[in-house]
Chains A and B, each alone.
Chain A
């Protein structure tokens, strides 16, 4: 009987913890969208990643979307307050990295970058955590203006 009660209590705890995490993510998304500045929010990319294997590639979340020419977009990244790892957002086009919020060689970081798109096509966004640590974060894509 004790076993059944323990199982129920554990499941209940798990359920409420998940709910709290979900609410945190919604709040983080809203704060991140607001911190992007005077732009129009288009899409958010919430991620929650486990730690990577030692020496291996850090786990990465990937998203694809269409960007239009003559348009300026903003890509922002916000790491959750209780996240162990710090999130990095990278943007690729045809397998080539064209933008990042973190430059490993210089250690320079940016909360967002703007992209002035000149060619319409499918772009790929990657979010990972530095040193393959586990973490939660959200990436935001916003419309800035027509060029």
Chain B
């Protein structure tokens, strides 16, 4: 009798505790080795990783900028979902999850719900591969996309799921995968920006490309920490070349006093800094070419 009670309590305990980090699925959560056991690398201070990753790249911001420039949607900028079975290692899956995450953001931004389903499916496969599929409410996402309704919710759930997954990986001591996702998100954002710029050389896009110097500087520091992994090694080799192209990009800021304005009970803060990003046309051309080459190579590996 006592044994039975203990057994029941033990099962209940397991059920209640399995839902780490507020996932709503959890049934396909598998045991995964932490970074320290997977890679013999110098440990990065988690607070540093946290500080870096939290907001270095976002799967919708570049798409939001592109759309705000009245650029037409183009499916040719998207990565193909046909070959996801080729991504067999967790590193490949994490990186490509970032790539497809940005593409999903781009599709959502342009309300392309007919194609969105392919990308949701691809993201499901890849996120299951690295055991974070429980963060994507695929049933809801699919329903919203199929019904072509509540597009704001579709966007919100997609991006929020992505953020949750990234947070979970870092909390779960798998920041190596988080770094790969963020690198994928960033590279695909760069690819979108550079491809659009190639067709429509808007000065704002040029500046946005130039300011990525800040991100790539940080990104290189972090990916180099995982150089023992084969995929990271490839990434380092490829991105190092791109990184060098940013060497003479100059970002200068003339500080000004921020102004606080209250309008109809709303607080608006206007920054009065003057920021200048200088990047030559030749440099931009090189960055466009390299980004295309690197991105295409990495997503076909």
Contact = CB atoms under 8 A, between A and B. Distances in A.
A52 interface: no
Given A16-B16, A42-B60, A68-B61, A8 B10 contact: yes
Contact of A41 (B50, B65, B156, B266): B156
A25 B52 CA distance: 24
Contacts of B6: 4-5, 8
A16 B15 CA distance: 9
Interface in B257-274: 258, 260, 265-274
Given A22-B22, A114-B266, A120-B214, A65 B56 contact: yes
A96 to B, nearest CB: 8
Interface residues of B, number: 57
A113 B269 CA distance: 7
Which residue of A22, A40, A93 has the most chain B CB atoms within 10 A of its CB atom?
A40
Contacts of B159: 41-42
Contact of B16 (A12, A41, A143): A12
Nearest to B14: A15
B248 interface: no
Contacts of B207: 69-70
A70 B204 contact: yes
A71 B69 CA distance: 12
A12 B271 contact: no
A8 B9 contact: yes
A26 B22 contact: yes
B275 A120 contact: yes
A1 B6 CA distance: 9
Minimum-distance CB pairs A-B, first 10:
A65-B55, A15-B16, A22-B22, A119-B275, A119-B273, A8-B9, A113-B267, A146-B68, A118-B271, A15-B17
Interface of B: 2, 5-6, 9-10, 12-13, 16-17, 19, 21-22, 24, 50-52, 54-58, 60-61, 64-65, 68-69, 109, 155-156, 159-160, 163, 204, 207-208, 211, 214-215, 251, 253, 255-256, 258, 260, 265-275, 277
Given A43-B55, A65-B54, 5 more contacts: A40-B60, A94-B255, A99-B260, A113-B267, A115-B271
Interface of A: 1, 4-5, 8-9, 11-12, 15-16, 19, 22-23, 25-26, 29-30, 33-34, 40-45, 62-66, 68-71, 93-94, 98-99, 101, 110, 112-122, 141, 143, 145-146
13 contacts: A5-B9, A22-B19, A43-B55, A44-B160, A64-B52, A64-B54, A65-B56, A66-B215, A70-B204, A113-B269, A114-B266, A119-B271, A120-B251
